[in-house]
Amino acid sequence: MAFNLDEAIKIANQAVLVKCYRSLTDVEIVVIKGAWEREEYDQIAAKNQYATSYISQDIAPKLWKLLTEALGEKVKKSNFKEALKRRWEKQCWDRQFTSEDYLVSPQSMSYNAIGKQVNTKFKEAVSPTYLTQAKQDVPAAELYVERFAIELLCYETLLQPGSLIRVKAPKLMGKTSLMERVLAKVAKEGYRTVSLSLEMADRPTHVTNLNKFLRWFCLNLSRELKLPNQLDKYWDEEGMGAKVSCTTYLEEYLLAAADSPLVLYLDDVDALFHYPEVYEDFFGLLRSWYEKARSRANWKKLRLAIAHSTDVYIRLNINQSPFNVGLPIELPELTKEQVQEFARQYGLAADSSLVEPLMQLVGGHPYLLQQAFSHLKSYPDITLEKLLAEAITDAGIYRHHLRQFWLSLQQEAKLMAAFQTVITSTKPVRLETISAYQLQSMGLVKLAGNEVEPRCQLYRSYFGDVIGS
C-alpha cells in the first residue's frame, strides 16, 4: 500500500486519538489537505471559505503543535508529510506487535482483526465514552462532546500570567462542564484551582452587604484550597475596609500559600447583577486584581476566569469592569457533527433519521440533546417519533425543564408578556433591552442582531400552547 493523503490523515487521526483522546476536526483536516497540495494558508482559507487569519494564526499553528505532541517529534508545515510517513512506515513494519494495530478508525469505527483478545481490551479503552469524558479527574457524570478548539484556547490562556477569561452562554449550554475540563487540565500542570459559583451565596445574607459577601467569598476560597480559615488575622473592616482586607487575604495568604499559580474560576457571576450594593465594588475588585496580576511580580501567580449567562447590562465604570478585558469566549450551540458524535456516545445510530428531526426541535442545545439521547438509550422501545410528538407537551421528557421556565415566567408579568411577543411572532422581534437580556440569560431566546427569537422550536411550540390557553 502506498503512502498517500488518505493514509496520512488516518495516521494523524490515530496518533492524536491515542495521545490527546480526540479525533482531528474538520478544519484541521482541511489544513492537512491543503498543506499536502503545497497550498499557502490564504489559498486554503479562500478555497474553504475561512478567514486567512483564522487558518494561519489559529488553526494551523495549533495543529502542528498538536501533531508534535502526538508524534513525539517537531512537526511543521514543511515537514509534516515526512513525519507522518515515518509513523506509517513504522506501523507497516511491526504491524503485528504494536497496539496501533488495534486503533479505532474515527471514520469507520472498525477494528483490525489481528489479536482479538488484545483488540477487545483496547476497544474498551478508547470507547467514545472514554474519549469524550474527562480523563483528567473531571467528574464523570454525563457524557460530553468536546469543544476542543475552545478548550485548548482557554487552557493555553490560563497558563499565561495575568490572564482573564470571560465565558458567556445561556444556562445549561455547557459553561461549567467546559471549565471543569480546562481546570482539570491546568491542575495537571501543577496549578491550584478554585471553582466557585456565586449562586451559592445566600440571599439576602451575603449579597446585600459588601463586607459579608467578601468574607463569604474569602472563606470559600480557603475551603476550596483546603486551607485553614485565617479571616480574623487579615481582616480589618474598620481600619482598611472590606476591599483592602479581601485583597490582602488573597495576596498575603492564599497566593503566598504555595509557589504554584492559582486559577480562580467564578461561575454564575450574573447572580450579583441585581445587587449593585455588592457588584460595583466586587467587579471593580476583580478588575484591580487583573491589573495587578499583569504588572506586579507577587500577583503573577493569579489567573482569573468568570462565567455569566447573558450580556452585561449593569452600570460599571469602564476602567473598573472585568467584562471589557481579557479573552471573551461565547459558547455556541453544538454543530451537526458534534450532535452526531454525541449520539454515538450513547450507542445510537448517528444518521440523519435521528439527528435532523431532533435538531429541528431543539437545535444544538447540549442539555436538551442529552435528555433525548439518554431517554432513547434507556427506553429502546420508545421511538423517536413518539418522543418528538410528546416533547412539546406536559407528558414529554422535557416537562420538568419546561415547567421550571413556566413558573419563573409567571412570577414576572413583564417578562411573560415579552416572551409571548417573541413566540407569537413569525420573525425576530425587538424587545426592551433588559427583558431581552433576561430571556437570553434564561436560555429561552437567542439574539438575531438587535432582535430576538425563540431559542428552539420546542420552546415556541410548548409556550405558544400554554401561554395562549
C-alpha cell at 156: 493555553
Q: Are residues 248 and 349 in the same domain?
A: no
Q: Are residues 325 and 193 in the same domain?
A: yes
Q: Is residue 138 in some structural domain?
A: no
Q: Are residues 191 and 237 in the same domain?
A: yes
Q: Is residue 447 in some structural domain?
A: yes
Q: What is the pLDDT of residue 19?
A: 72
Give the β-pairing of 164-168 and 192-197. unpaired
Length of the chain (residues): 469
> Any idea what the CATH number is for the domain that residue 255 is in?
3.40.50.300
Q: Is residue 382 in some structural domain?
A: yes
Q: Are residues 203 and 289 in the same domain?
A: yes
Q: Are residues 375 and 292 in the same domain?
A: no
Give the β-pairing of 327-330 and 164-168. parallel
> Any idea what the CATH number is for the domain that residue 407 is in?
1.10.10
Q: Are residues 323 and 365 in the same domain?
A: no
Question: What share of the chain has pLDDT > 90, as a percent?
Answer: 58
Q: Are residues 229 and 92 in the same domain?
A: no
Distance in angstroms (rounded) separating the CA atoms of residues 54 and 109: 30
CB 296 within 8 Å of CB 247:
no
Q: Are residues 167 and 57 in the same domain?
A: no
Q: Is 265 helix (H, G, I), strand (E, B) or coil?
A: strand
Half-sphere exposure of 340 (CA within 13 A, CB side): 10
Q: Is residue 139 in some structural domain?
A: no
How far is residue 445 from each of residues 190, 192, 259, 431, 459, measured CA to CA in Å? 40, 37, 45, 11, 9
Q: Is residue 141 in some structural domain?
A: no
How far is residue 338 from each of residues 23, 140, 461, measured CA to CA in Å? 12, 19, 25
Q: Are residues 303 and 195 in the same domain?
A: yes
Q: Which of 330, 347, 375 is the last residue of a domain?
A: 330
Q: At what angle do helices 384-391 and 352-362 cross, to 10 degrees?
A: 0
Q: Is residue 61 in some structural domain?
A: yes
Q: Which of 286, 310, 330 is the last residue of a domain?
A: 330
CB 160 within 8 Å of CB 304:
no
In this predicted model, what pLDDT tens digit does every residue of 272-283 receive, in sequence order?
A: 988 999 999 999
Q: What is the pLDDT of residue 425?
A: 94
Runs of H (alpha helix) within 266-365: 276-295, 336-345, 352-362
pLDDT at 136 over 90: no
Q: Are residues 78 and 207 in the same domain?
A: no
Question: What share of the chain has pLDDT > 70, as a percent?
Answer: 88
Q: Are residues 324 and 343 in the same domain?
A: no
Strands (E), 11-135: none
How buried is residue 209: exposed, middle or buried, by Cβ count under 10 Å (0-12/13-18/19+)?
middle
Distance in angstroms (rounded) separating the CA atoms of residues 290 and 129: 37
Q: Are residues 163 and 287 in the same domain?
A: yes
Q: Is residue 125 in some structural domain?
A: yes
Give the β-pairing of 445-448 and 327-330. unpaired
Q: Which domain holds residue 277?
A: 148-330
Q: Is residue 278 in some structural domain?
A: yes
Q: How many domains does the chain have?
A: 4
In this predicted model, what pLDDT tens digit does every residue of 149-205 receive, in sequence order?
A: 899 899 999 999 999 999 998 888 889 989 999 999 999 999 999 999 999 998 888
Higher pLDDT, residue 315 or 359: 359
Distance in angstroms (rounded) separating the CA atoms of residues 355 and 358: 5
**DSSP assignment of 111-171:** ---S-HHHHHHHHHHT-HHHHHS--SS---SS-----HHHHHHHHHHHTSTT-EEEEE--T
